[in-house]
Chain A
Amino acid sequence: DAGVTQSPTHLIKTRGQQVTLRCSPKSGHDTVSWYQQALGQGPQFIFQYYEEEERQRGNFPDRFSGHQFPNYSSELNVNALLLGDSALYLCASSLRLGGKETQYFGPGTRLLVL
């Protein structure tokens, strides 16, 4: 049973560029959430996708956008990169079961903006 997968594992970009990160959820899961984790901090919620729609969004600017595909996989896009966007980007997948929904995380994409 494949867990959550993410690509790429590492990425280096320069300020002003755009980046796309990808996530495939755990088998049987239909919901994907994206988090940003700065060094020494807990993950911060970016947004969640369900049924190909953004269901909830955290306090992130519009430069952060996403998409969910019919096969439940998801992309996170960040435009006009800033140095402060350097972080570990985590994807988590889940399946809502009677209100008890546990999010399982992928290995993350480490983004460095120079």
Chain B
Amino acid sequence: GQNIDQPTEMTATEGAIVQINCTYQTSGFNGLFWYQQHAGEAPTFLSYNVLDGLEEKGRFSSFLSRSKGYSYLLLKELQMKDSASYLCAVRDQDDYKLSFGAGTTVTVRA
């Protein structure tokens, strides 16, 4: 199985930048995903990394280092609507399921 660790909570100010770290341990690796989940709603897909490096998509960027078992999600120019839980998920080699961390609750303050 996988051990996926991410901080429980983070707080930041509107307009600022927040970095959410995720570490994982897996016997094989076939991709890391970030999802955003607002309270009471379903997770929505944000990003996918399978190779090392940075993937940028608007205000959100995701980084992966496979050798370190490490990823981060960077949220820039924070807006109030970014207040949500952010889920890190890993797929093993030859695996179909996603294994999720417990999620990081980000609170954006005015």
Query: Are A56 and B96 CB-contacts (below 8 A) given A42-B87, A100-B48, A102-B48?
Result: yes
Number of interface residues of A (CB under 8 A): 25
Q: Chain A residues in contact with chain B, CB under 8 A?
A: 31, 33, 40-45, 48, 50, 55-56, 58, 90, 92, 99-108
Provide the bound-state CA to CA distance between A50 and B98, in Å.
Answer: 15
Q: Is the interface of B mostly helix, strand, loop or mixed?
A: loop
* Contact of B97 with A33 in the complex, beta carbons under 8 Å: yes
* Contact of B101 with A48 in the complex, beta carbons under 8 Å: no
Number of interface residues of B (CB under 8 A): 24
Provide the bound-state CA to CA distance between A99 and B35, in Å.
Answer: 19
* Contact of B42 with A45 in the complex, beta carbons under 8 Å: no
* Contact of A42 with B97 in the complex, beta carbons under 8 Å: no
Looking at the complex, which one of B41, B48, B96, B102 makes contact with A42 (CB distance below 8 Å)?
A: B102
Minimal Cβ-Cβ distance residue in B for A44: B100
Q: Which residues of A contact B48 (CB under 8 A)?
A: 100, 102
B43, B97, B100 interface centre (most CB from chain A within 10 Å): B97
Q: Does B72 contact A (CB under 8 A)?
A: no
* Contact of B42 with A108 in the complex, beta carbons under 8 Å: yes
Provide the bound-state CA to CA distance between A111 and B42, in Å.
Answer: 14
Provide the bound-state CA to CA distance between A96 and B46, in Å.
Answer: 18
Provide the bound-state CA to CA distance between A14 and B33, in Å.
Answer: 36
Provide the bound-state CA to CA distance between A92 and B45, in Å.
Answer: 11
Minimal Cβ-Cβ distance residue in A for B42: A105
Minimal Cβ-Cβ distance residue in B for A45: B97
